[in-house]
Amino acid sequence: MHPIRGEGILDRIGATPLLRIRIFERECPEVAIYAKAEFMNPGGSVKDRPALRMIEEAERSGRLTPDRIITDSTSGNTGIAYAMIGAAKGYRVRLVMPGNVSDERRELVNAYGAETVFSDPMEGSDGAIRTVRAMVAEDPNRYFMPDQYNNDANWRAHYDGTGAEIWEQTRGTVTHFVAGLGTSGTFVGAARRLKELNAGVRCISVQPSEPWHGLEGLKHMATSIVPGIYDPALADEDVGIDTEPAYAVARELARAEGILAGHSSGAALCAVRDIARRIGQGVIVTVLADGGDRYLSTGLYGSRRT
């Protein structure tokens, strides 16, 4: 037996660090702001957590067998997680993505060997949902679709993981939790866990302020196909954020603190700033859902490929 024990790549999902965010300290000195660095998951985003949970629960139940292709609709990050996990476990993966996802996300999925089908970019994530549903309906025995928007394993990954970690890492001092809404799994799972631990924790959801926006990964719920796992009653407050201020905060975070974060993280931090100004003191925790390196081609940091 070899004396060295190593870990597999999937063993590194979760247990992400909590980073202190200081860009708002000058105007809100009595508010401590922290963020879960989900870009430090091996697949580079918060979506590693639910993707692994959904796949492993399907394996245990027998719904996923070696002859089936893993497929789902994705705006990018869950697809990257599926592709990574599929490569690690030996599954074929075919993903449906909106045609306007960033170049980096396309290349990452391709790097893991996954196949891609692109839906109409004008239909956003809803178009990808409709396309994958039709694809699976045509040949249901060929595919396993985790259905991230309607699978309870999505939010449970955050209930057992993200929310519990936040409570432990803040030693129970968290007063406010802020997270964006895409599938809504991160917000729903973590908010449920935190409110069970302390009913006084205020949970604030974040979404784009209007249907047409540039915040990849987030849904404008009023005009979108609403995820089955979404529970709006968990939110003490729901905040709409404009695209440009979200980009500006993401750029500020990179240049002032050396943290590259994506569009949705910028939106979450915009909401955090507004909340911090209002409350005066407290402990706010948010989620940096992914890293900004997968958005370099989009103009998030002030330049855009042509």
DSSP state of 6: -
Quick one: fold of 48-144? Rossmann fold (3.40.50)
Provide the 3-class DSSP secondary structure of residue 202: strand
Distance CA 84, CA 79 (A): 9
Distance CA 43, CA 64 (A): 21
DSSP element (H, E) containing 252: helix 243-257
Q: Is 89 a catalytic residue?
A: no
Cα end-to-end span (Å), the chain: 54
- Tell me the domain boundaries of the chain: 9-45+158-295, 48-144
* pLDDT recorded at residue 303: 55
State phi, psi for 6 to the nearest 5 degrees. -110, 170
Decide the pairing of beta strands 143-144 and 176-180.
Answer: unpaired
CA distances from 247 to 16, 253, 267, 276, 301 (A): 24, 10, 8, 19, 8
Residue where the block lists tokens 């802020």: 178
- Residue pLDDT tens, the chain, 306 long: 567 666 899 999 999 999 999 999 999 999 999 999 999 999 999 999 999 999 999 999 999 999 999 999 987 899 999 999 999 999 999 999 988 888 888 899 999 999 999 999 888 888 998 999 999 999 999 999 999 999 999 999 999 999 999 999 999 999 999 999 999 999 999 999 999 999 999 999 999 999 989 898 899 999 998 999 999 999 999 999 999 999 999 999 999 999 999 999 999 999 999 999 999 999 999 999 999 998 888 888 875 544
DSSP state of 255: H
Q: Is 264 a catalytic residue?
A: yes
Residue pair 16/266 in contact by the 8 Å Cβ criterion? no
What lies within 8 Å, CB to CB, of 217 at 6+ separation is: 75, 76, 77, 180, 182, 262, 263, 264, 289, 290
State phi, psi for 289 to the nearest 5 degrees. -65, -30
Residue pair 106/116 in contact by the 8 Å Cβ criterion? yes
* Residues forming beta bridges with residue 204, ordered by sequence position: 178, 237
* pLDDT recorded at residue 2: 60
State phi, psi for 147 to the nearest 5 degrees. 60, 65
* pLDDT recorded at residue 305: 45
- How many CA within 13 A on the CB side of residue 173? 10
**How many whole angstroms from its chain centre is CA 130?**
21
* pLDDT recorded at residue 306: 43
- Please pick, among 45, 47, 125, 224, the residue that the annotation labels catalytic: 47
In the sheet that holds 69-73, the strands lie side by side as: 115-119, 93-98, 69-73, 143-144
> How many other C-beta atoms can be found within 10 angstroms of the C-beta atom of residue 169?
17
* pLDDT recorded at residue 239: 98
* pLDDT recorded at residue 11: 96
In the sheet that holds 176-180, the strands lie side by side as: 18-21, 31-37, 282-288, 176-180, 202-208, 237-241
- Please pick, among 73, 75, 119, 264, the residue that the annotation labels catalytic: 264
Please, what CATH class does the domain formed by 9-45+158-295 belong to? alpha beta
Matching CATH topology for 9-45+158-295 and 48-144? Answer: yes
Quote the pTM value: 0.93
Residue pair 185/50 in contact by the 8 Å Cβ criterion? yes
